[in-house]
């Protein structure tokens, strides 16, 4: 068992807090500014709500299912009773275990991984903006993280016990590379978003009415906070304050800059203007795409992945109008497409020159074998997430109801669900108060 490293522990704890910042308030602002003024608070509450629900599930049984000892030999799930309520891990001596012991406390690894589960769920909410019932969203978050995220996280992120036995099948059997969650987080959330957008249906006025963003400055602030937090997401996935973290950190800058410029270039050529929403979107697209690849590619690879992701996602966000699905805030166009780009391009741009655990891709003399593994992993996660989410969403729709009524949607979900308004810029007296709780 290794000695605890103060530097590694500090970095992983800080990284966990950075990933929390991505969800609340980063993603909440990014999404909240992108919807109409009558849905801003509800949109932000979907991110915060995902945090509350998943945060509890993670410490009760989530961590145990994702990273605990296998339920039985060959099972795709961990035993929920092994670390139920973090039993045996919530003390000062337990060490982080994932295919071997890390020189950090188990608690640091638990909380870091908890924030990954949280943001994956929160990302999905962008696909169903303006029309989902808040209570059903919380129920969905609880069930989805349990039956979709935990098995996928185990398949991708779990490297087995102290002797590296029993690791997740995507990580160890297929041998796909996914450093920080291109598959488990972004392809997963994107495919789930598509399924829910189809289950809930289009917003009233989709493709006809003015459904433009209400507050682009919030979107820009959110994108900046996401980027800041993403250093914890990517570089923190090194689980140590070391060279690997440094590689991931640098690539998280270069790919993202390239993606933002790629997106703006598409806009300038196609629409005539480089927009602020395009810049914010390009930032997130680049972050998504470099997530799986950030520790495995050199600067040429990172810049290439970034610009390819920026251009492809900028084109992909138009697909929803062509095919008629209302993925309101482009979870599919940005996260599914960006996740696929990053995951698959490792097969081209991976290089051992940056990291001995990397693999040389097609462009670095390594042949196509890693590319095939990357495509397999991407497809498995995409199909599993889409199918299970579609079934879960349909069941929730038919039983407790997932969508607000037409009148409620027109009135606005902030007033109907939260009984609040995001903005009152004129500060005039428009009502009266009973001076007590209702």
Q: Which is closer to other proteins, CB of 248 or CB of 329?
A: 329
Smallest distance from the beta carbon of 213 to other proteins, in angstroms? 6
Give whichever of 173 and 212 is closer to other proteins, judged by the CB atom: 212
Under the binding rule (CB under 8 A), the answer on residue 52 touching other proteins is no
Give whichever of 73 and 210 is closer to other proteins, judged by the CB atom: 210
Among 5, 146, 242, 275, binds other proteins (CB under 8 A): 275
Closer of 419 and 425 to other proteins (Cβ): 425
Nearest CB to other proteins, comparing residues 258 and 314: 314
| Nearest distance from C-beta of residue 52 to other proteins, angstroms | 30
Q: Is 270 in the site for other proteins (CB under 8 A)?
A: yes
How many amino acids of this chain bind other proteins (CB under 8 A)? Answer: 18
Q: How far is the CB of 128 from other proteins (least distance, A)?
A: 17
Q: Candidates 91, 173, 271, 410: give the one binding other proteins (CB under 8 A).
A: 271
160-219: contacts with other proteins (CB under 8 A):
210, 212-213
Three-state secondary structure readout of the chain: CCCCCHHHHHHHHHHHHHHHHHHHHHHHHHHHCCCCHHHHHHHHHHHHHHHHHHHHHHHHHHHHHHHCCECCCCCCCECCCCCHHHCCCCCCCCEEECCCEEEEEHHHHHHHHHHHHHHHHHHHHHHHCCCECHHHHHHHHHHHHHHHHHHHHHHHHCCCCCCCCCCCHHHHHHCCCCCCCHHHHHHHHHHHHHHHHHHHCCCCCCCCCCCCCCCHHHHHHHHHHHHHHHHHHHHHHHCCCCHHHHHHHHHHHHHHHHHHHHHHHHHHHHCCCCCHHHHHHHHHHHHHHHHHHCCCCCHHHHHHHHHHHHHHHHHHCCHHHHHCCCCCCCHHHHHHHHHHHHHHHHHHHCCCCCCCCCCCCHHHCCCCHHHHHHHHHHHHHHHHHHHHHHHHHHHHHHCCCCECCHHHHHHCHHHHHHCCCCCCCCCCCCCCCCCCCC
Of the candidates 8, 178, 267, 326, which one interacts with other proteins according to CB under 8 A? 267
Name which of 277 and 362 has its Cβ closer to other proteins. 277
Contact letters for other proteins, residues 315-354 (x by CB under 8 A): --xx--x--------x--x---------------------
Q: Of 229, 240, 278, 339, which one interacts with other proteins (CB under 8 A)?
A: 278
Among 314, 332, 380, 416, binds other proteins (CB under 8 A): 314
* Residues at the site binding other proteins, with contacts judged by CB under 8 A: 210, 212-213, 267, 270-273, 275, 277-278, 281, 314, 317-318, 321, 330, 333
């Amino acid at each position: 068992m290794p000695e605890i490293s103060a530097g590694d522990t500090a970095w992983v704890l800080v990284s966990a807090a950075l990933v929390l910042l991505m969800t609340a308030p980063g993603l909440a602002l990014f999404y909240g500014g992108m919807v109409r003024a009558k849905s801003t608070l509800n949109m932000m509450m979907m991110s915060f709500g995902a945090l509350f629900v998943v945060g509890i599930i993670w410490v009760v049984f989530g961590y145990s299912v994702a990273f605990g000892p296998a339920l039985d030999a060959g099972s795709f799930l961990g035993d929920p009773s092994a670390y139920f309520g973090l039993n045996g891990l919530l003390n000062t001596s337990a060490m982080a275990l994932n295919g071997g012991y890390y020189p950090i406390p188990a608690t640091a690894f638990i909380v870091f991984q908890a924030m990954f589960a949280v943001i994956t769920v929160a990302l999905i909410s962008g696909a169903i903006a303006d029309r989902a019932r808040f209570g059903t969203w919380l129920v969905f978050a609880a069930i989805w993280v349990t039956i979709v995220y935990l098995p996928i996280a185990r398949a991708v992120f779990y490297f087995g016990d102290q002797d590296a036995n029993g690791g997740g099948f995507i990580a160890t059997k297929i041998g796909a590379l996914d450093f920080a969650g291109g598959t488990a987080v972004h392809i997963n959330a994107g495919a789930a978003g598509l399924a829910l957008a189809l289950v809930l249906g289009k917003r009233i006025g989709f493709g006809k009415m003015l459904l433009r963003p209400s507050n682009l400055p919030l979107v820009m602030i959110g994108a900046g906070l996401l980027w800041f937090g993403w250093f914890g997401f990517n570089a923190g996935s090194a689980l140590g304050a070391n060279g690997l973290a440094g590689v991931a950190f640098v690539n998280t800058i270069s790919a993202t800059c390239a993606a933002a410029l790629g997106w703006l270039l598409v806009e300038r050529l196609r629409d005539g203007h480089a927009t602020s929403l395009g810049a914010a979107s390009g930032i997130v697209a680049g972050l998504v795409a470099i997530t799986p690849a950030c520790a495995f590619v050199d600067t040429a690879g990172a810049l290439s992945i970034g610009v390819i992701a920026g251009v492809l996602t900028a084109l992909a966000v138009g697909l929803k109008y062509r095919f008629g699905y209302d993925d309101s805030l482009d979870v599919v166009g940005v996260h599914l497409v960006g996740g696929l780009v990053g995951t698959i391009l490792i097969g081209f741009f991976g290089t051992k020159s940056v990291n001995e655990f990397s693999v040389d891709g097609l462009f670095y003399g390594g042949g196509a074998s890693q590319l095939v593994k990357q495509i397999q992993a991407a497809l498995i996660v995409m199909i599993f997430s889409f199918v299970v989410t579609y079934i879960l969403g349909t069941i929730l729709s038919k039983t407790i109801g997932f969508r607000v009524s037409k009148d409620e949607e027109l009135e606005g979900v902030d007033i109907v669900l939260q009984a609040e308004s995001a903005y009152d810029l004129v500060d005039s007296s428009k009502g009266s108060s009973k001076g007590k709780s209702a």
